[in-house]
Chains A and B, each alone.
Chain A
């Protein structure tokens, strides 16, 4: 069953320099209890897609068109009051920077307690006990003591655990994780990923994993969506994306990262770089967004914008090579 289905979402930001097409016609589907990985560089629109789902796009940003179907209902048609019942309760989000996304003036137990008091009608006392229980689940040592701490008394990894505890406290059906481990050290990252996978098993939560780290995607995702300049350029299951990437962007990206243990004794192989830079989002081009950086570009690519072509039931690619 599809728990989340985004159809032709367009989110734009209106500024003095013009309109930024941050998310430009994005469609994706997530099955219940699945892990969907969204990869892309900064400015590819992955975080804006997540914020659009959460209903957190505020002016000058605007969702221009498209549908966000959650369990069959279009979230865009809900009032703010109805959205508040879903946000944090049935769909919750973990943000990248655990320091700035916790309220520095509230104790941990009040921050987690607020959520469950709002959504599950627990009393203050019950909410404290529940908070301790959640902290225990995310493996924070001495949860009774830690519940009384303020965010600044905790380390980065611990704060990210608190964020996870908070996000999972209402057993959401979807957990959106926006670069949840980017700010963390690798050993802590391993702990946090392991924890998320365990909790997913336990609660059957679907996870929308947004990251730029292809390693993290390979490790945990089942389905992968690759984004570039506000659009989906390729989607498919994780083995297909890594073994047989179709879009030139995906394959060059995979070739450009140094891999541990690849280097031979004698030489330092040159990494295959992607030349040029990410295109700006203010202009709508009449040609492929990746044209200027593409190793396989042809004349045709400079004249036509490719459409997303379905290869089979769950994979698709946006490249002229696969059109027609």
Chain B
């Protein structure tokens, strides 16, 4: 069953411009992203900082308003929540939850763990005795002890806080969880614990995940399909093994070759990209990757490549793929 379908999602922010200037500049944070997600599956969104991957997540949850495009959740168009009734909005919020990147700033420092987990359920009208039971159940699920419920966030380590964030996301039995860099703020030895926890919970509750991350190794480990995003556009999308074995877009290829492999025997010849990501305020004409592309041709500077399917489930936006 298709749980989420995103069509040509665009989110622009007004850019900085002089108050005397008539021309309005725009930051093209997300510029035409489409994908769909099945129930129980995981899609990974990878890209460098500033490529718009977090904005995709925020737009899906309507935490920032999409400029255009359509988001269908369980067949219902949820692009503009203001068009829906309050009850419908509440229902959708319940179904879609988020785990934030920074476990330090995403928990209220003045609320105990019990309150943090209790409030979302209270808002959604779950009776108090059920809530109490659920809190204990959730704590156990994410590997915390029941006596932790009366503690405040500062009493926990980073990994434990991320577990609290996961428990909070789970508390309303969502069908979709968006993880915005869920492990990048954690220590190496803690990352594996959280990745395993996410996978276990997915298997148990048939959850769908959207994992937004810059670490391709982490994404490859947990995602079924991976979308590589560059300057607000998906440049390549494929299942995890195709993306790793036969990356077609030159950006995916360089991204893969740039990752240092923890094996001293493999010192690879890597493709080193020149320059950095151009500003989304003023994206280049034609293919947005052409200023950095190692195999750029003349056409790339003027003609924007369409996303084309090269094998089932594998799409690429490059003239030469």
Residues in A lying within 8 Å of B, measured CB to CB? 41-42, 141, 155-158, 185-191, 193-194, 212-219, 238-239, 242, 252-254, 256-263, 265, 268, 270-275, 277-278, 293
A268 to B240, CA, bound (A): 11
Instruction: State A43–B262 Cα separation when bound (angstroms).
Output: 22
**Chain B residue with minimal CB distance to A240?**
B264
Q: What separation, in Å, do the CA atoms of A213 and B189 have in the docked complex? A: 11
Q: Can you report 27 residue pairs joining A to B where beta carbons are below 8 Å apart?
A: A185-B49, A186-B258, A186-B259, A190-B273, A214-B262, A218-B260, A238-B264, A242-B262, A242-B264, A256-B188, A256-B189, A256-B191, A258-B217, A258-B218, A258-B221, A259-B263, A260-B216, A260-B217, A260-B259, A263-B220, A270-B199, A273-B189, A273-B196, A274-B192, A275-B193, A278-B157, A278-B189
Closest to A219 in B: B260
- A306: shortest Cβ distance to chain B, in Å? 19
Q: Is B220 touching A271 in the complex (CB atoms < 8 A)?
A: no
**Interface SS of chain B: helix, strand, loop or mixed?**
helix
Per-position binary interface string of chain B over residues 236-268, scored 1 when its CB falls under 8 Å from any chain A CB and 0 otherwise:
000011001100000000111111111111110
Most chain A CB within 10 A, of B188, B217, B254, B264, is at B264
CB of B229, distance to nearest CB on chain A (Å): 13
Would A257 and B264 count as touching, CB distance under 8 A? Answer: no
Q: Give Cα A17 to B203, complex, Å.
A: 43
Query: Do B191 and A257 have beta carbons less than 8 Å apart?
Result: yes
Are A263 and B190 in contact, with the CB atoms below 8 A? no
* B9, CB-defined interface residue at 8 Å: no
**Do the beta carbons of B159 and A277 come within 8 Å of each other?**
yes
Decide if B90 is an interface residue (CB 8 Å cutoff). no
Contacts of B146-175 to chain A: CB distance below 8 A? 157, 159-160
Q: Are A186 and B192 in contact (CB under 8 A)?
A: no
A187-B157 CB under 8 A given contacts A252-B189, A268-B222: no
- Interface pair B261/A260, CB less than 8 Å apart: yes
How many residues from B make CB contacts under 8 Å with A?
47
**In the bound complex, what is the Cα–Cα distance between A285 and B240 (angstroms)?**
45
Tell me which residues across on chain A come within 8 A of B222, comparing CB atoms.
268
Q: Does B276 contact A (CB under 8 A)?
A: yes
Contact for A155 among B255, B263, B276, CB less than 8 A:
B276
Chain A residue contacts of B188, Cβ below 8 A: 41, 212, 214, 253, 256-257
* Chain B residues with CB under 8 A of A265: 241
B294 shortest CB reach to chain A, Å: 12
A190:B48 contact, CB within 8 angstroms: no
CB distance from B125 to the nearest CB of A (A): 36
* Bound-state Cα–Cα, A254 to B274, Å: 31
Q: Are A187 and B262 in contact (CB under 8 A)?
A: no
Closest B residue, CB atoms, query A212? B188
Contact A258 B195 (CB under 8 A): yes
Q: Is there contact, CB below 8 Å, between B258 and A253?
A: no
| Complex alpha-carbon distance, A260 and B160, angstroms | 26
Complex CA–CA separation, A253 to B266 (angstroms): 19
A77–chain B nearest beta-carbon distance, Å: 36
| Assembled-state Cα–Cα distance A157/B273 (Å) | 12
* Supplied contacts A141-B275, A214-B262, A242-B262, 15 more A-B pairs, CB within 8 Å: A41-B188, A42-B187, A186-B216, A188-B276, A190-B258, A191-B273, A215-B261, A218-B262, A256-B188, A257-B217, A260-B244, A263-B241, A265-B241, A274-B189, A275-B193
CB-based contact B221/A277 at 8 Å: no
Q: In the assembly, what is the distance between CA of A268 and CA of B220, in Å? A: 10
Q: Is B5 an interface residue (CB 8 A)?
A: no
Distance to closest chain A CB from B143 (angstroms): 9
State whether A187 touches B254 (Cβ < 8 A). yes
Q: Is B145 interfacial (CB-CB < 8 Å)?
A: no
* B93 CB–A CB distance under 8 Å: no
> How far apart sit A194 and B271, CA to CA, in the bound complex (Å)?
11
**A270 CA to B192 CA, complexed, in Å:** 9
A187 interface neighbour in B160, B187, B240, B273, Cβ under 8 Å? B273
Assess whether B258 is in contact with A189, with CB atoms less than 8 Å apart. Answer: yes
Distance of A87 Cα from B276 Cα, bound (Å)? 32
- Determine whether B214 belongs to the interface, using a CB cutoff of 8 Å to chain A: yes
In the assembly, what is the distance between CA of A42 and CA of B189, in Å? 10
Which residue of A has the minimal Cβ distance to B200?
A270
Query: Among residues 266 to 316 in chain B, which have CB atoms less than 8 Å away from a CB atom of chain A?
Result: 266-267, 270, 272-277
